[in-house]
A and B are shown apart, each in its own frame.
Chain A
């Protein structure tokens, strides 16, 4: 199923003042694998994504890209490595058409002038390969539905041919059909050998497309599950900490005491 390891986090920790946001996080993403990152609010999902995307720098630990340790200082560094991030608010310009949004910041030029024809051709090609169906690539993004905007935002992340795509809550605000569209798109990304990190609160979405489910709880790894051998209850238990029992609590207390 999954290919070589593209991105790996080894013991990544991040502090904000008195808050230990991430502690010793381990995560691996392979080519052609969908890793769902789940956890309660405040579990550290967004912090982890920002650490990978270069918004925050981890205090400890190593980020490995294709087996080599790298440092990601700025979002541009992540983009150059081949990590594309689709944030929850999409960051599309409503007044610009689909083509302009897809190529915003990296327009194709011919003799210093925007090459609209080449951009439109590539946009249509890209949208076709992703089987994205939108009315026209020349209408303003404002007139697209929520799901269509989401797929345009994801398509935009793919313009730079990334190896890993991170999607932050891509289905949070979507209806049934739009969610299905986005999930189809995630599967197509996997078929095209992209590594995908999918953040979602929706267990049904996660179970539908993920190959691996990584659970964060209070800034720590709380289990990495292979979707084939797990079920929803088990993951929810890991998310909420309901798997805690007297034994694990005593062990945890013992560790704190010995530190």
Chain B
């Protein structure tokens, strides 16, 4: 049977007249029929594609299309922020004062740093429930080593950060190698690291920072010269413009689509308005806080890591399709462990800023609603709980929203009870927006 003798079937070449080819049943017209395109006429572009027009009009049309298909991005959080500022500003004029906003920009750094780490874990589609007490533990380690044991402040700082990284590696090993669900590992960690923190703090329970150590200075330093804030704004805008122009030039030279000049100008102007308004407000009070500058640098650097390096690409790939990532030769376990390590390290950084803020590490460090706030900040800022979508900037936006609500309610003198309820409602609203956006994206074929 395995040898076929040519011509032994009746009718010479019977396959020709009996077998219906799929081409025969192809429609010859209709909307889905392939449009004949000359081979040299850019065949990679589908004629059905909605091509964006140039200029501001095209920008608005594109924006409307994105919103209607559920690609909300940062839109909900920006709207929320404006609403919050308008509401609290109208209730009490001191809310929008330069003093309050300057203080706010400093107070959000601790939570924001932790949220920055949470963004990485959320990108994998996982969650880390231990960040709050990991931040407390690392702050306690720094305080005890530096204040109680007289260890060099830099060594103590490095030990605290390294402990954060090690904690993350432990979480990652249990998650990636043993296969325990991430929320269970980190929930156990939440309790365990809290216990270790209490152990480290010892009998007294509270260790006051000297106020002259490196961590305190990183938080309390404010550059009072006018030039500092404006200079930082100018440098930021200049970097953005140079990066945009270089990218557009390279793309033009390579013959691939590039951002038109009007786009770059519009984006630069928007960025400049925001940056100079912020700088002006900060200068109205004391000046540019070092903590805010460090936070912004962390955001930009980690944004670069996520979007412009193979490592970041692997993180996104894992958030999109684990099996696909594995088949593409990505070391899934290593990426998972490293992401959990980044998250815990950022928790340590945030914990140190929080300790500097209250000038001590105590038994209540990392407690309260810090965990909720850090995760909420990342989600409110627009990072999806479902993995694969998000930006480091969402940590800044989310922390601003959370911080503004707390600051506004403190000014209004609302009790903790009311504050918790409102913060909880805001978090729920953010997750609802995320879920609805995802559903709309599915309907629009974009999820």
Contact = CB atoms under 8 A, between A and B. Distances in A.
A231 B334 CA distance: 52
Given A93-B388, A105-B330, A208-B22, 18 more contacts: A93-B321, A100-B316, A104-B313, A114-B310, A127-B44, A133-B34, A183-B22, A204-B19, A204-B21, A208-B23, A223-B3, A227-B15, A228-B6, A228-B13, A229-B6, A231-B9, A232-B15, A234-B9
A223 B445 CA distance: 44
A136 B25 CA distance: 29
A95 B15 contact: no
A223 B316 contact: no
A243 B1 contact: yes
Interface in B20-62: 20-23, 25-27, 32-34, 37, 39, 42-46, 48-49
A94 B438 CA distance: 13
A183 B21 CA distance: 11
B446 interface: yes
A112 interface: yes
A224 interface: yes
B418 interface: no
A207 B388 contact: no
Interface residues of B, dominant DSSP: loop
Contacts of A191: none
A207 B23 CA distance: 11
B18 interface: yes
A104 B9 contact: no
Interface stretch (A6-14, A31-39, A42-50, A116-124): A116-124
B256 A124 contact: yes
B212 interface: no
Contact of B32 (A92, A95, A177, A243): A177
Interface stretch (B220-228, B247-255, B406-414, B421-429): B247-255
A177 B25 CA distance: 10
B333 to A, nearest CB: 15
A136 B49 contact: yes
B54 to A, nearest CB: 16
B14 interface: yes
A128 B43 contact: yes
Given A95-B389, A117-B251, A124-B256, A179 B22 contact: yes
28 contacts: A91-B324, A94-B320, A94-B321, A94-B447, A96-B316, A100-B317, A104-B324, A105-B328, A117-B254, A120-B251, A121-B256, A124-B44, A128-B42, A131-B39, A133-B43, A133-B44, A136-B45, A137-B44, A140-B446, A143-B444, A176-B27, A177-B33, A230-B15, A231-B9, A231-B18, A232-B19, A234-B4, A243-B1
A105 B22 contact: no
B46 A135 contact: yes
A65 interface: no
Interface in B231-264: 247, 250-251, 254-257
Contacts of A62: none
A21 interface: no
A231 B9 CA distance: 8
Nearest to B30: A177
B324 A225 contact: no
Interface in A87-120: 87, 89-96, 100, 104-107, 109, 112-114, 117-118, 120
A117 B256 contact: yes
Interface in B398-447: 441, 444-447
Contact of B22 (A93, A136, A204, A234): A204
Contacts of B247: 117
Contacts of A121: 254-256
B256 A120 contact: yes
B319 interface: yes
B4 A224 contact: yes
Nearest to A243: B1
A104 B323 contact: no
A79 B282 CA distance: 57
B81 interface: no
Contacts of A41: none
A195 to B, nearest CB: 20
Residue of A89, A228, A231, A232 contacting most chain B CB atoms (<10 Å): A231
Interface in A163-194: 176-177, 179-180, 183
A208 B45 CA distance: 27
A157 B321 CA distance: 17
A134 B324 contact: no
* Top 4 closest pairs, chain A to chain B, by CB: A93-B320, A105-B328, A95-B388, A91-B324
A142 B446 contact: yes
Contact of B316 (A76, A95, A222): A95
Contacts of B39: 131
B325 interface: yes
A105 B329 contact: yes
A118 B256 CA distance: 9
A150 interface: no
Contacts of B320: 93-96
A91 B327 contact: yes
Nearest to A156: B328
B310 A91 contact: no
A94 B388 contact: yes
Contacts of B33: 177
Contact of B328 (A104, A114, A224, A229): A104
B177 to A, nearest CB: 20
A87 B43 CA distance: 26
A115 B411 CA distance: 49
A57 interface: no
Contacts of B441: 142
A117 B251 CA distance: 6
Contacts of B310: 107, 109, 114
A231 B15 contact: yes
A259 interface: no
Contacts of B20: 204
